[in-house]
Amino acid sequence: MKRLIHAELLKARASRTTWILAAISPVFCALWALAGVSLMSLDRSIPLGQRVENVYNMAQQAYVFALILGILGMSGEYRHQTITWSFLVTPGRGRVVTAKLAAYGIIGLLMAAVSTLVTSVAGAALLAAGGHPVTTPGLPAVLTGATLSTALYAVFGVALGALVRNQIAAVTIALVWFNVGDYLLTMLLPEIGRWLPAGAARAVGGMTLRGGELLPAWGGGLLFAAYVAATVLAARLITLRRDVT
């Protein structure tokens, strides 16, 4: 298994897409942190400390790149038909899927850590420049939650790529759902939206929305992990039984 994971890491490292997504991710998060600081004075219904934490929570915006990376890492094998060779070299399909999940989980964690670091530096500088507090007692939990949830999105992406083998379809479905569908439901129907994957993931980082509609961080973490685990299980079962071609 270690060799399989190492092989998947080498394949990911050799892809320009991996490096491009990894480079864009922290910049994207820093821009979100700038937006967060700019909006702090517009909504005073949320306590100041939680607004400060929301700025740092923008590190979680790296999720979109981790999700896409995981999807491409799995569905790309089907697109280029290299999955056939992967299964021939390692007849145990479950081991191949597990290795991909582990490899992209590692990559997602590294991407998340860098994005969190950049967001923290940018957020602190922007908050200080705006005359806002730079830190809060809950900040370590916010940064940890944002990092872990982003890493889980990479694993989620691999599982989605195994379920929806068409690369374009998988990326489109994921982006539309997580960026539009789930977000709108969370905003319009918070009593439902907070139980959905994106709502649960936002809660992991301790994000606070108007009215406090999200679950507590521990609840969101357990729920999001359950969503990821269920998707991974489905991906493994379908990959084992479905014809490669």
Helix (H, G, I), strand (E, B) or coil at 243: coil
What are the backbone dihedrals phi and psi of residue 135, each rounded to the nearest 5 degrees, phi first? -140, 160
Q: Who has greater pLDDT, 31 or 131?
A: 31
Helix (H, G, I), strand (E, B) or coil at 191: helix
pLDDT tier for residue 84 given thresholds of 50, 70 and 90:
low
- pTM, two decimal places: 0.85
Domain ranges of the chain: 2-241
Q: Which of 113, 111, 178, 122 is nearest to 143 (CA)?
A: 113
Whether the CB-CB separation of 207 and 60 falls below 8 Å is answered with yes
Q: Which two tokens stand for residue 140?
A: 């370590």
Q: Who has greater pLDDT, 33 or 203?
A: 33
- Of 31-35, 88-92, 97-101, minimum mean pLDDT range: 88-92
Q: Which residues contact 41 (CB under 8 A, 6 or more apart)?
A: none
pLDDT at 11: 80
Predicted confidence (pLDDT) at residue 119 exceeds the cutoff of 90: yes
Cα 22 to its chain centre, rounded Å, is 12
Average pLDDT of 159-179? 85
Helix (H, G, I), strand (E, B) or coil at 80: coil
Residue pLDDT, tens place only, 20-52: 999 999 999 999 999 888 877 666 677 777 888
- Of 74-78, 86-90, 148-152, 181-185, minimum mean pLDDT range: 86-90
Eight-class DSSP state of 215: P
Q: Please tell me the distance from the alpha carbon of residue 232 to that of residue 20, in angstroms, as a whole number.
A: 26
Whether the CB-CB separation of 170 and 158 falls below 8 Å is answered with no
Q: Which two tokens stand for residue 234?
A: 């489905």
